[in-house]
Amino acid sequence: MTRETGEAAQHKISLVSDLVDNGTLVRHVNADELKIEDSLVYVLSEQQGGGSLVIVPISDPYALMSNFIVYLSNSGTMYRYNETLIDRSVSNTFQIKQYADGTLTRSDVSDIAYKTNDDLKEELRTGLSQQRPTARGNPTACASMAFGVGTGFGAILAWACAGTCVSGVGAPVCIACIGAYAAVSYGSINTFMNCLKS
């Protein structure tokens, strides 16, 4: 999977923006919480199923990993889309809502103590110097390996990764995992994906 930039990426971002604006893609956040201008585009290899992922980060008050991700075919036809919203529960832990193609598929409250986005960013910054685990195929270990962070951030990402998956996108890699990972924009996304598939 490779990052796409330039006009080709902007065309896909504009396509997704138009689909959201005209109501084709159902969103569950306010329009100004979708950070369209910060969207990322990744092209999947044929071995990963082909097509592209357009990943739109979602802003505060949602956690860094929150995102709106659209899976496009090589011809630009929309395959699937997924929305992951992570924020603070009334018990001061992380809670999640995930939607596949506009329909709620998961609503869950974790036992992971809530951290602000500033705290999460600091953990990511300081985590780069920590020892990385070698276990593979486990979302927590893979997050720690790719991000270089300890179990705190890895546990949050692993919990978010328990959501809706899309067949064909490097199966069994979960689209919610990819979106949550890419929305943070740290570490190597290919390292993360390859680790998950192991």
Write out pLDDT tens, residues 32-86. Answer: 899 999 999 988 877 777 888 899 999 989 998 899 999 898 887 777 888 999 9
Average pLDDT taken over every residue of the chain: 79
Note the pLDDT tens digit of each residue in 79-94: 788 899 999 999 999 9
Contact 65, 160 (CB under 8 A): yes
Reply yes or no: is the peptide bond before residue 139 cis, omega within 30 of 0.
no
Return the pLDDT at 120: 84
Report DSSP letters for 128-183, one per residue: TTSPPP---S-HHHHHHHHH---HHHHHHHHHHTTS---TTSSTT--HHHHHHHHH
Q: What is the mean pLDDT of residues 158-172?
A: 54
Cβ-based neighbours of 75, under 8 Å, separated by 6 or more: none
Lowest mean pLDDT, pick from 76-80, 109-113, 144-148: 144-148
Q: Is 104 exposed, middle or buried (0-12, 13-18, 19+ CB in 10 A)?
A: exposed
Q: Is 49 helix (H, G, I), strand (E, B) or coil?
A: coil
| Top-confidence residue, 159 or 148 | 159
Distance from C-alpha of 186 to C-alpha of 162, rounded to nearest angstrom: 20
Return the pLDDT at 134: 55
Return the pLDDT at 48: 72
% of the chain exceeding 90 in pLDDT: 36
Return the pLDDT at 164: 46
Q: Is 45 helix (H, G, I), strand (E, B) or coil?
A: coil
Note the pLDDT tens digit of each residue in 17-37: 999 999 899 999 998 899 999
Q: What is the mean pLDDT of residues 115-138?
A: 68
Return the pLDDT at 171: 40
Q: What is the mean pLDDT of residues 102-131?
A: 81
Q: What is the mean pLDDT of residues 186-192?
A: 63
